[in-house]
Amino acid sequence: MTRVDPAAILPHAVLALLDAADADTLLRDAEGLADGLTDAGWTPEVESGRFGADGWDIVSSAWAPGLSAFLDGDVHEVRTAALAIAAALVDGGDRWSLDTEGPSWSAWSVEDPRWRTDEIDWLVWSGRGVVVSLYTAPEMAAGPGVLPAHLQLAISRADTPDEGLARDEARDRRVAAEGSVVERWYLAGHEGLSDELLARLEADDDGRVSAAAASERLLRDDSPRG
């Protein structure tokens, strides 16, 4: 197949993200994550942990530090981007080790018939103390609507348990009271955050924190209750 040139396909922010993926820098802590994403060309949004660049979106968390980047669109565009990400990681040489249980679709072409006949699994690379996972799917039915073709690029610390970190209410209270602006911004959208601490963050003196908390409150109010 023709070699894919990642730099001709992927935005600089995505390539820079792959270059920055390291447990000691990008995924060190909340500050390292926010600074690393900003330096790579991603713009923070109002919602806690969310960044955007060139039509791509990132959802990130500070505890444990990790992120997922998403791209939706035409299946050809999405597959081309996914193959370019895989090529960029292959170009990284011995920095990355590939391990996947399913077909290694990173070497396919966009039009390869196996996209339609094989069951696609995550491709997983490890190195530099992190795990990089890549998945893509075509358009599919989702309830009454249609989910567009999409890819997900996840970057997590290799030492993070598969089930994630246990809730730490003492840490949440400490961060809400004396954490940095970046830590409080991340805390506003942290899963399991109590209504009491969310209210405190809604009244935060820093506008970025209070706006993120207000956005999280709207999401909670709009979510269906069981």
- pLDDT confidence of residue 101: 76
pLDDT the model gives residue 119: 85
Q: What is the pLDDT of residue 2?
A: 57
Average pLDDT over residues 144-166: 94
The answer to whether residue 54 scores a pLDDT higher than 90 is: yes
* % of the chain at pLDDT higher than 70: 97
CB 85 within 8 A of CB 78: no
Distance of alpha carbon 49 from alpha carbon 47, whole angstroms = 6
Residue positions counted in the chain: 226
pLDDT at 226: 44
Q: Which residue has the higher pLDDT, 53 or 90?
A: 53
- Higher-scoring residue by pLDDT: 90, 156: 156
Q: Is 103 exposed, middle or buried (0-12, 13-18, 19+ CB in 10 A)?
A: middle
Can you tell me the mean pLDDT for 108-123?
Answer: 91
The predicted model gives 120-131 an average pLDDT of 95
Cα–Cα distance between 217 and 202 in angstroms, integer?
A: 9
Rounded average pLDDT over 172-177: 98
What is residue 225's predicted lDDT score, i.e. its pLDDT?
54
* Distance, CA of 219 to CA of 50 (rounded, Å): 14
Domain limits, the chain = 6-157, 169-222
The structure's pTM equals 0.94
Average pLDDT for the chain: 94
Rg of the chain, C-alpha, whole Å = 19
Average pLDDT over residues 108-118: 92
pLDDT of residue 41: 98
The predicted pLDDT at position 222 comes to 81
Question: In the predicted model, is pLDDT for residue 1 greater than 60?
Answer: no
